[in-house]
Amino acid sequence: MEIISDKLIIKQGTIYTEEQTLQSGFVQIDDGKITKVSKSTEHLSSKDYQLITLPEGYSIIPGMIDLHIHGVNGADTMDATREALDIMASTLPKEGTTSFLATTITEDINEIKTSLVNAGEYINSFQSEGNAEVLGIHLEGPFIHKGKAGAQPVQHIADPDTQLFKQLESLSNHHIKLVTLAPELPGGSELVDYLKNKNIISSIAHSEASYSQVLEAIDHGLTHVTHLFNQMTGLHHRDPGIVGSAFLRDELMVEIIADGIHVSPEIVKVAYKQITDERMMLITDAMRAKWLEDGSYDLGGQMVTVTNGKALLDENTLAGSVLKMIDAFKNIQTFTGCSMESAIKMACENPAKQLNVFDRKGSIANGKDADLVILDENKDVYMTICKGKIAFARGDDNLENH
Amino acid sequence: MEIISDKLIIKQGTIYTEEQTLQSGFVQIDDGKITKVSKSTEHLSSKDYQLITLPEGYSIIPGMIDLHIHGVNGADTMDATREALDIMASTLPKEGTTSFLATTITEDINEIKTSLVNAGEYINSFQSEGNAEVLGIHLEGPFIHKGKAGAQPVQHIADPDTQLFKQLESLSNHHIKLVTLAPELPGGSELVDYLKNKNIISSIAHSEASYSQVLEAIDHGLTHVTHLFNQMTGLHHRDPGIVGSAFLRDELMVEIIADGIHVSPEIVKVAYKQITDERMMLITDAMRAKWLEDGSYDLGGQMVTVTNGKALLDENTLAGSVLKMIDAFKNIQTFTGCSMESAIKMACENPAKQLNVFDRKGSIANGKDADLVILDENKDVYMTICKGKIAFARGDDNLENH
């Protein structure tokens, strides 16, 4: 199928709108925006509009927003090329992602700087229609704790440094939206203060903070937890740690890698019960091997081996994931028994709100960007629309296309 | 005050009955049983009935049931004397406990046997009116894991042994109701099978079981978790462990020591959210120093130092508690924000159901034992009634006593 018009009506199927779930109806798109959402299938048909009629069992959900993705399909944010970001932005719609934060890793500071310059320029000047949108940059490291490095190259880890961050911020054309750091380190509070002042999200992981240190960081402006459970202080019964703070503190929005590998399905269920869909967010933390075959791939200058969906730096260290957003979206429902609506909150609405773009992203509502994902009866991605343009359509075609 | 009659009416105050919470009303007691619960304060006054009228702000709750208590007021189950159990049974009403399981500890097997003989005889022949009732015996160890001994003397720990257990059972006059063990050890499954067959509760703690080993034990008949979080595998994000099984598995009733020392208040809140008042139970795990001054006391042949509410075997090992049931009852409300009704489920109803004595204990309802606790406006114990007899009354007297 080809979408040829800027005017499009998608009808029938279950429509998960911001306000309610419609068992039928239509979504109308004009010039990249959602212009009408109706529960009636009667619409002012006009030959200006291309009409897509969905089969029984299909559904329309908002485009998913991945706040934490390093790479996909051979490309990585750290490649620092326009091509790499193009590959990411054009591949991610296959898994239902319509916008994301290009995520860096701890590396030689000059590599980080080059990547930030590249991503900043890309965001300003090179985004393409019909691709996922790069909403900004997630700076993961280098301001983290060496004791919880995980797959972040330990030799490049540094204490939080607000002056250095200001340089990075400037080089990125002010597109850094989220910083994963260890606030308990020297300079941590100062950096969190600065980020708060700049409306940049401070997030904790790769950190050995105690519960009381997390509370202190919250006082300074910490509002986010990166990949819950991975590379952080766990839930000890006499110190709740970072995991406990994610469970208990409503100030924190919480990322989780719902691949069943980084965190066991049972523990995802425990976390969901604590955090609920009010504060949990699905991310992939994927590296370049995603959508490619098993093999060896670079991550932050290190060789990572991918086998059966597991990316390992060595026998004991997971190195990012090859998780797809649509699988995170399906897994969270399987692991927790949550509803579609709840999964949509965690994959679309919460990340949009956390990034402060909920006025234009994260739900199906009048006036918002036409970022939509059509799922088939198995909740697989049938089609992804980015700002009204088809970004991905599966080869087979059950759709009536008028 | 002295209660002189077998016929008693307690009126006014908030009454927490099995069915509902009455803002006023009365409870009538005849011959040790509750014979009427009414929301009206109009009753057939008869001079046969002694009448107690409660002041504003007082409440009546069911007697609390402590499934896990070693000792109090200088006495310990392992003392193996009638006097020791008398002291326990007569002291515990001060804290609102009206029945309990006398709990043993890992020790030389002959010491355990002597204690079981003593407790069995006591239960059969020596219980006194106006004392808390010994409902049976909780055998904690010796069938536990040396790696999670805690304050259980490691030299006396043994693998589960069904033949030996049968001897112990017989010596106790079949009054063992609950066994804390490590089901993953050799012989564990066989013992759990045997206990299930005998309607004796199998409980897990002092164990290194993985999550899958807990699931296997549940298949064999495990239904209980002893002192959640203490001396067991914690919640790891890739193996939920015993803590995770307590969170996730509805087959398990779960003890917690809500003193804020064994488990931090924040973690009690996390556990409550997971387990809810449907499955959580308040216990004390108290040792002989409770209700006594700080100092050094014996536990299982070891010297334990009690300072500021903390009983320590050494710098890093907690050795039982000096927690009172009424404080556990108040703490759980403070730590979690739960209601009085919820706290009553955890202190009274759930333990009664788990022990299979809910037909006569655990709630305020017609026909049940008149085990009642009167709380003042600060939720401190004002009076405790065991089977219709006053077991404790505080020195001061705000009550109208006709």
How many angstroms separate the CA of residue B304 from the nearest CA in chain A? Answer: 21
Same domain, A345 and A378: no
∠B179-B184-B186 over CA atoms, to 5°? 95
A136 in a structural domain: yes
Task: Establish whether A285 is a catalytic residue.
Answer: yes
Q: Which residues of chain A have pLDDT under 70?
A: 1-5, 44-46, 396-402
Which is nearest to B226 in space by CA: B273, B285, B272?
B285
Cβ–Cβ below 8 Å for B269 and A262: no
Whole-number CA gyration radius for chain A:
21
User: For B254, phi and psi rounded to 5 degrees?
Assistant: -130, 120
Whole-number CA gyration radius for chain B:
21
Same domain, B111 and B166: yes
- The pLDDT assigned to B45 comes to 65
B2 in a structural domain: no
Same domain, B240 and B384: no
List the CATH number of the domain containing A119: 3.20.20.140
Instruction: Provide the residue count of chain A.
Output: 402
In whole angstroms, how far apart are CA B324 and each of A14, B138, B139? 56, 18, 21
Rounded Cα distance, B172 and A331, in Å: 51
Over residues B48-55, the mean pLDDT reads: 91
Cβ–Cβ below 8 Å for B239 and A264: yes
Please indicate whether residue A41 or residue B268 has the higher confidence score (pLDDT): B268
Does residue B401 surpass a pLDDT of 50?
A: no
Contact residues of B toward A, CB < 8 A: 211, 229-230, 234-240, 243-244, 247-248, 262-264, 266-267, 269-270, 273-274
Chain B partners within 8 Å of A240 (Cβ): 264, 266-267, 270
User: Model ipTM?
Assistant: 0.91
How many angstroms separate the CA of residue A358 from the nearest CA in chain B? Answer: 30
Rounded Cα distance, B340 and B332, in Å: 10
Rounded Cα distance, B233 and B240, in Å: 8
How many angstroms separate the CA of residue A235 from the nearest CA in chain B? Answer: 7
Chain B partners within 8 Å of A244 (Cβ): 266-267, 270
Chain A partners within 8 Å of B238 (Cβ): 263-264, 267
Q: What is the mean pLDDT of chain B?
A: 95
Cβ–Cβ below 8 Å for B262 and A235: no
A1 in a structural domain: no
Decide: residue B36, CB within 10 A, 0-12 exposed, 13-18 middle, 19+ buried: middle
Over residues B124-134, the mean pLDDT reads: 97
**Helix, strand or coil, per DSSP, at residue B355:** coil
Rounded Cα distance, A256 and A125, in Å: 31
A2 in a structural domain: no
- The pLDDT assigned to B402 comes to 43
B93 in a structural domain: yes
Please identify which residue in the block is written with the tokens 């017609």: B366
Supply the DSSP string of A258-319, one letter for each residue: -SSSSS-HHHHHHHHHHHHHHHEEEE--B-TTTTS-SEEEEETTEEEEEETTEEEEETTEE-
**pLDDT band of B44, cuts 50, 70, 90:** low
B136 in a structural domain: yes
Same domain, B34 and B77: no
Same domain, A243 and A379: no
- The pLDDT assigned to A401 comes to 47
Cβ–Cβ below 8 Å for B240 and A274: no
> Looking at A259, A277, A285, A369, which residue is catalytic?
A285
Q: Tens of pLDDT along B83-126?
A: 999 999 999 999 999 999 999 999 999 999 999 999 999 999 99
Q: What's the domain count of chain B?
A: 2
Report the range of poorest mean pLDDT among A394-398, B47-51, B127-131. Answer: A394-398
Same domain, B21 and B160: no
List the CATH number of the domain containing B370: 2.30.40.10
Over residues B182-187, the mean pLDDT reads: 98
- The pLDDT assigned to A3 comes to 56
- The pLDDT assigned to A398 comes to 47
Does residue B37 surpass a pLDDT of 50?
A: yes
Most B-contacting residue of A210, A231, A237 (CB-CB within 10 A), to test interface: A237
- The pLDDT assigned to A41 comes to 78
Q: Tokens in use for B256?
A: 């917690």
Least CB–CB distance from A266: residue in B230, B240, B269: B240
**pLDDT band of B172, cuts 50, 70, 90:** very high
Same domain, A324 and A380: no
- The pLDDT assigned to A48 comes to 84
Same domain, A55 and A74: no
Cβ–Cβ below 8 Å for B240 and A211: no
In whole angstroms, how far apart are CA A359 and each of A27, A280, A285, A387? 18, 20, 25, 14
A256 in a structural domain: yes
Q: Tens of pLDDT along A87-134?
A: 999 999 999 999 999 999 999 999 999 999 999 999 999 999 999 999
How many angstroms separate the CA of residue B238 from the nearest CA in chain A? Answer: 5
Residue B278 CB neighbours (<10 A): 11
Beginning with the edge strand found earlier in the chain, give each strand of the sheet holding B50-53 in spatial order. Answer: B33-38, B26-30, B7-11, B50-53, B400-401
B343 in a structural domain: yes
CB A81 within 8 A of CB A133: no
Cβ–Cβ below 8 Å for A274 and B273: yes
Q: Tokens in use for B304?
A: 């334990």
Instruction: For chains A and B, count residue pairs whose Cβ atoms are closer than 8 Å.
Output: 67
Does residue B399 surpass a pLDDT of 60?
A: no
Same domain, B36 and B108: no
- The pLDDT assigned to A47 comes to 76
Same domain, A20 and A157: no
Please indicate whether residue B162 or residue B47 has the higher confidence score (pLDDT): B162
Cβ–Cβ below 8 Å for A266 and B244: yes
Longest dimension (CA), chain B: 67
Same domain, B298 and B379: no
Same domain, A14 and A84: no
**Domain of A297, in residue numbers:** 64-354
